[in-house]
Amino acid sequence: MKKNANDTDIQIAICGSAGDGTIAAGDILKRAMSLQGYKVIAFDLYPAEIRGFGKCISRIRISSGQTYSLKPQSDALVSLNDPHAIPHVVEVRDYGAVIYEDTPMARIPEGGHISAHVRPAQIPYGLGIRHISEQATGSARSRNIVVLGYMAGLLGMTRDVFHQTIGEKFKTKAPAVAEQNLKAFDAGYDLATRVFRLDTIEIKPPRHTKSGADAVMMTGNGAVVRGFLDAGIDNYFGYPITPATSIMERLTVEMPKTGGRVLQTEDEISAIAATIGAGYTGARTATATSGPGLALMAEMVGLGVMAEVPSVIVVSQRGGPSTGLPTKTEQSDLNMAVFGGAGDAQRIVLAPTNVEGCYKCAGKAFEIAEKFQTPVIVLLDLYLSNRYETVIPPKRNPFLRKPEKKIAVRNGNGAYKRFAATADHVSPRSVPGEPGLMHTVTGLEHNEMGRPSDLPEVHLAMSHKRHKKLKGALNLRGLTLCKRFGDEGEVDVGILGWGSTFGEILEAMYAAQSEGIRCSAMKVVMLSPLPIEQIAAFHDDCGEVLVPELNYEGQFAGLVSGELGRPVTRLSQVTGAPMRVEEILNEVRRLSGKQSPARKTKQQDTGDERALEAGLS
């Protein structure tokens, strides 16, 4: 990826405790920069406790060109809570800024203040954040907005856009709330303009400032909601679970405006049962959950497969197993999404790689479910669900609002065969109440009429039908099932990825190319059925194939190598955080011969031993 000398590419991290307004300050920053036409990627980390004093971090990458992931190091760190921010000082690059409170209220122990941890190559900016807030607003509650204004003034950001964003942020509050926050922002901004600074962090105009008016800051979950609405969703049934809850919350506000219905059920089993029941009637219906919820839904998903009923299930993965790590990201539910359930119950699984992809997959999932009469799982993770990106929505709705093919009528005077064998293995479907099309639907194996049958030839024929019809999904139009990037033809290393990790994969690929390594990357969106022909062709071109993913077992690597019958190199991590670009790049270097394999192995073994010792201590 070529960088223009006039590009802006900075990353700011704001760190504080729950209740400090860390996430709110980050939200204002990313929205203000997006309005000006910058590309923005942002991701917030917060504690698992519903109400507590855990660490919150908002990281925002602001660029005038296209980027695909957060940077491994930030250009500036803002501390609203020193004990939480101190461990992140090392993540600030050389000549980066560290902004902090320099007039603490109480005596602190040696080494307890962040100034003691700022490295010689970093630039410290201390100010009396609390005092400035109290002078401007009469309260210390606006510390987060004061320091946001200070950063904006320090970097020469446009004041008016922040005023507009703050006004929008607090427009539902009493007018005095917005006024107080504007005072706090201006107090910080004015102070920063009088501070001598080194020009080590620069904000330059974006390449296309006019795109700011069209761009929307959107999370993956927000994009799912928009995709559902544009596709004409009729019903949503759900039960709250992190990190999928915001999908239901937003739909609860938006769906009644168009006559849609949202129902919070008593548990995940009820949610999927209602979803399949409504899908049986011909309604476009969806639910959303995370790994623990999908585990509860497994039996009913099998019913949807057996009864050939369309339904859409969004799964946002988090750390597991069991309750696991509710507020940490992971990609460890792939096996359950593809294989989970009793018997041979293949279903269609899509895994978008960015926020725009969440929109496309969510909206397209209804068409796919109806076309192939099956449950469709859209597989996200916490990183993608909560990650903000600058997205320019399509000017025209790209989704079919009604089923592509209206349900078939009975042939002549013969009985209606709901599960009839056809050339494309998709049977003529009817919905309850259509005259002359009465039929049986059951979770038992059945014949073409839908009547239970345990004859071997019937079970074989129906199993064949249920699997073969899904192969047609590999010929879908209007949705990218897989795509190759980077060098064409034979390459030293190919990186194969899925889901949210693909942004880091792309950044690593471009970095490898800049070092003279022939490198390509392929993203796979359709995880079931797997586009194995395209993956095999990619594998043929690669001297080595690397599969980075956020799970311990290397689930996608196992899926691909099992289908291909060929080896791949696994790079599996379960840190609860997005994968780092440098870690992928180091493995690409090793595989290409740019780094000694023996040295790399020794370093990796030592790192594993240290991690194990730390976990046991």
**CATH number of the CATH domain containing 155:** 3.40.920.10
CATH code: domain of residue 226: 3.40.50.970
Taking all residues of the chain, what is their mean pLDDT, rounded to a whole number? 91
Cα separation, 581 vs 591, in Å, equals: 16
**Is residue 1, in this structure, part of any structural domain at all?**
no
The predicted-structure confidence for 275-320, as pLDDT tens digits, reads as follows 999 999 999 999 999 999 999 999 999 999 999 999 999 999 999 9
What type of residue is 526? M
Please give the full DSSP string across 110-166, using - where no structure is assigned.
TT-SGGGT--TTSEEEEE-HHHHHHHHHSSSTTHHHHHHHHHHHHTT--HHHHHHHH
The answer to whether 61 touches 5, Cβ cutoff 8 Å, is no
| Average of per-residue pLDDT across 198-213 | 67
Q: Which residues have a Cβ under 8 Å from the Cβ of 169 and sit 6 or more positions away?
A: 24, 27, 28, 31, 178, 181
The reply to whether 492 and 457 lie within a common domain is: no
Structural domain of 55: 9-214
For the stretch 384-393, pLDDT in tens is 999 999 998 8
CA distance 336 to 89: 38
The pLDDT score that the predictor gives to residue 610 is 45
Look at residues 214, 249, 279 and tell me which one is the last residue of a structural domain: 214
As given in the structure block, the two tokens for residue 153 are 């003034």
Q: What mean pLDDT do residues 20-30 have?
A: 95
pLDDT tens per residue across span 43-86: 998 876 655 578 999 999 999 988 999 998 999 999 999 999 99
User: Which stretch of DSSP H or E encloses residue 101?
Assistant: strand 92-101
Label residue 594 by pLDDT band (50, 70, 90): confident
Can you give the pLDDT at residue 466?
Answer: 97
Residue 382 has pLDDT above 80, yes or no: yes
Percent of the chain whose pLDDT exceeds 90: 80
Domain end position, chosen among 391, 424, 445: 391
Domain assignment present for residue 3? The answer is no
Is the separation of the CB atoms in 470 and 460 below 8 Å?
A: no
pLDDT at residue 527 greater than cutoff 90: yes
pLDDT digits (tens, 9 = 90+) for 113-159: 999 999 999 999 999 999 999 999 999 999 999 999 999 999 999 99
Give 402-410 contacts, CB < 8 A, sequence gap 24+.
402/232, 403/282, 403/367, 403/370, 403/371, 404/367, 404/370, 404/371, 405/371, 407/282, 407/431, 407/434, 407/437, 409/436, 409/437, 410/436, 410/437
Does residue 199 surpass a pLDDT of 80?
A: no
Per-residue tokens: 258:
């168009």
Q: What mean pLDDT do residues 456-462 have?
A: 97
- Residue 601's pLDDT is what? 46
Mean pLDDT, rounded, for 351-380: 97
Residues 263 and 288 in one domain: yes
Q: Cα(349)–Cα(337) distance, rounded to whole angstroms?
A: 7
Q: Name the helix (H) or strand (E) containing 526.
A: strand 526-528
Alpha helix (H) residue ranges in 215-315: 220-230, 245-254, 268-280, 291-307
Question: Is there a single domain that holds both residue 234 and residue 322?
Answer: yes
Instruction: Give the model's pLDDT for residue 200.
Output: 76
Q: Please check the confidence at residue 24 and state whether its pLDDT lies above 70.
A: yes
Q: How far apart are CA 208 and CA 194, in angstroms?
A: 30
Calculate mean pLDDT across residues 317-328: 94
Q: How far is CA 95 from CA 35, 82, 83, 98, 121, in A?
A: 28, 20, 22, 10, 6
Separate counts of helices (H) and strands (E) for the chain: 20, 20
32: in domain: yes
- For residue 4, the tally of other CB atoms under 10 A from its CB is 11
Structure tokens at 28: 């204002």
Residue 18 domain-assigned?
yes
Whether residue 605 sits in one domain with residue 487: yes
Coil, strand or helix: which one is 594? coil
| CA atoms within 13 Å, Cβ hemisphere of 448 | 13
Last residue of a domain, one of 422, 444, 479: 479
Say whether pLDDT at 615 is over 50: no
Number of domains the chain contains: 4
Q: What is the structure's pLDDT at 609?
A: 47
Positive or negative, the Cα torsion across 331, 337, 342, 343?
A: negative
**Ramachandran region of residue 327, left (φ > 0), alpha (ψ -120 to 50) or beta?**
alpha
Whether residue 38 is found in the same domain as residue 156: yes
Which of 225-239, 426-440, 524-538, 545-559 comes out lowest in average pLDDT? 426-440
Q: Is residue 396 part of a domain?
A: no
What is the pLDDT at residue 34?
A: 92
Checking if the pLDDT of 208 tops 80, the result is no
**For range 94-104, the mean pLDDT:** 94
Q: What percent of the chain has pLDDT over 70?
A: 91
Residue in the structure block whose two tokens are 């013969």: 414
Residues 499 and 565 grouped into a single domain: yes
Q: What are phi and psi of 561, to 5 degrees?
A: -65, -30
Minimum mean pLDDT range among 356-365, 400-409, 597-606: 597-606
Query: pTM value?
Result: 0.90
Amino acid (one-letter) located at 150: Y
Give the model's confidence band at 197: pLDDT under 50 very low, under 70 low, under 90 confident, else very high: confident
248 with 354, same domain: the answer is yes
**Are residues 358 and 432 located together in one domain of the fold?**
no
State the Cα–Cα distance between residues 398 and 238, nearest whole angstrom. Answer: 26
Backbone conformation region of residue 317, classed left if phi is above 0, alpha if psi is from -120 to 50, else beta: beta
In a domain, 397, yes or no: no
Q: Is residue 420 part of a domain?
A: yes
Q: Which CATH number does the domain housing residue 493 bear? A: 3.40.50.920
169 lies in the same domain as 75: yes
569: β partners? 546
Question: What is the pLDDT confidence band of residue 108, given thresholds at 50, 70 and 90?
Answer: confident
Asked if 422 and 520 sit in the same domain, the reply is: no
Structure tokens at 505: 């994969």
Crossing angle between the packed helical segments 581-592 and 597-616, to the nearest 10 degrees: 140
Per-residue confidence (pLDDT) for residue 49, from 0 to 100: 63
Q: Which has the closest alpha carbon to 325: 558, 547, 556, 46?
A: 46
DSSP 37: T
**Which string of DSSP letters, residue by residue, matches 414-477?**
SPP-TT---TTSPPP---TT-TT------SS-B-TTS-B---HHHHHHHHHHHHHGGGGGGG-S
Over residues 438-460, the mean pLDDT reads 95
* Residue 330 · residue 550 · CB < 8 Å: yes
- Count the Cβ atoms, other than its own, within 10 Å of residue 555: 25
Q: Buried (b) or exposed (e) across 418-452, using 16+ Cβ within 10 A?
A: bbeeeeebbbbbbeeeeeebebeeeeeebbbebee
Lateral strand order in the sheet of 542-549: 482-486, 519-524, 491-497, 542-549, 569-572
Neighbouring C-beta atoms of residue 547, cutoff 10 Å: 24
Mean pLDDT of the 212-234 span: 91
Statement: residue 405 has pLDDT above 60: no
How confident is the model at residue 539, as a pLDDT? 98
DSSP 562-587: HHHTS--EEEE--SSSPPPHHHHHHH
pLDDT confidence of residue 403: 63
Separation of alpha carbons 407 and 241, rounded Å: 35
360 and 301 within one domain: yes
pLDDT in tens, 182-195: 999 999 999 999 98
Are the C-beta atoms of 449 and 419 separated by less than 8 Å?
yes
Q: Which two tokens stand for residue 468?
A: 């073969």
pLDDT for 111:
86
pLDDT at site 212: 52
pLDDT of residue 253 exceeding 70: yes
pLDDT, residue 408, reads 53
CA distance 73 to 94: 9
The closest of 199, 216, 211, 162 to 64, measured between CA atoms, is 211
Mark whether 413 and 522 lie in a shared domain: no
- Model confidence band, residue 272 (pLDDT cutoffs 50, 70, 90): very high
In whole angstroms, what is the distance from residue 355 CA to residue 197 CA? 36
